[in-house]
Structure 1
Amino acid sequence: MPSKDRPLVDRHAPKNGEGWLLSIEQQKVCRFRNDMPTAHAKWVEVETRSLSAKGRPIIRRMLRHNAIDAWEAMLKAGWQPCPPRW
């Protein structure tokens, strides 16, 4: 696809398998990364942590298409892409 026809904003989580979102309002950071695929599905591990490092992280596994939907919903809710935090 010629570069002029490419969208300016990537609609999906990064293709390299890992993406990070930050919510200043909630003081949380969230990491999306590919998990081990099975013969039937592709899985994504979603880990959410507090920026203050208090408490335990919340780790979930979801199907890739559900993780993409969650990524897009979080962006609409005000989360921002950020560099890796840990």
Structure 2
Amino acid sequence: MPSKDRPLVDRHPPKAGVGWLVNTQEQKVCSFTNANPTAHAQWVVVESRPLRGSGQPVVRRMLRHNAIEAWETMLKTGGWKRCQPKW
């Protein structure tokens, strides 16, 4: 597929390992942020919370390759799309 025909999401990956996804159907927002790497692995902190109102965030720490897979899976499933930072 020519680069001009590729979706914007693929042409511009998140900068510095930080990315945000929003799902308006489920009213949730999710952030992916690089964590401090260890000697053996690179970690990503994945935090999801309600889009509006109060609620406890769900924070997970994942290996980088698992976080990339989760990001891609969320984009392929219905409702999730990239967004600007929400908070």
TM-score computed with the length of structure 1 as normaliser:
0.85
Aligned-pair distance for 1:14?
A: 1.6
Higher helix share: 2
Give unpaired runs (5+ residues) of structure 1.
none
Aligned to 1:27: 27
2:6 to 5, 8, 12: 8
Encode CA deviations 1:18-44: one digit per residue, 9 max, x unaligned.
000000110000000000000000000
Encode CA deviations 1:32-70: one digit per residue, 9 max, x unaligned.
000000000000000001012321000000000000000
Within 2, Cα distance between the matches of 1:23 and 1:51?
Answer: 8
* Alpha-carbon distance change, 53 to 76 in structure 1, aligned in 2, over 3 angstroms: same
Within 2, Cα distance between the matches of 1:64 and 1:12?
Answer: 18
How many residues are paired up? 83
Aligned to 2:84: 83
Aligned-pair distance for 1:5?
A: 5.9
Within 2, Cα distance between the matches of 1:53 and 1:39?
Answer: 39
Within 2, Cα distance between the matches of 1:49 and 1:42?
Answer: 23
* Alpha-carbon distance change, 43 to 7 in structure 1, aligned in 2, over 3 angstroms: farther
Within 1, Cα distance between the matches of 2:27 and 2:3?
Answer: 36
Within 2, Cα distance between the matches of 1:12 and 1:70?
Answer: 18
Give unpaired runs (5+ residues) of structure 2.
none
State, as a whole percentage, how many aligned pairs show the same letter: 58
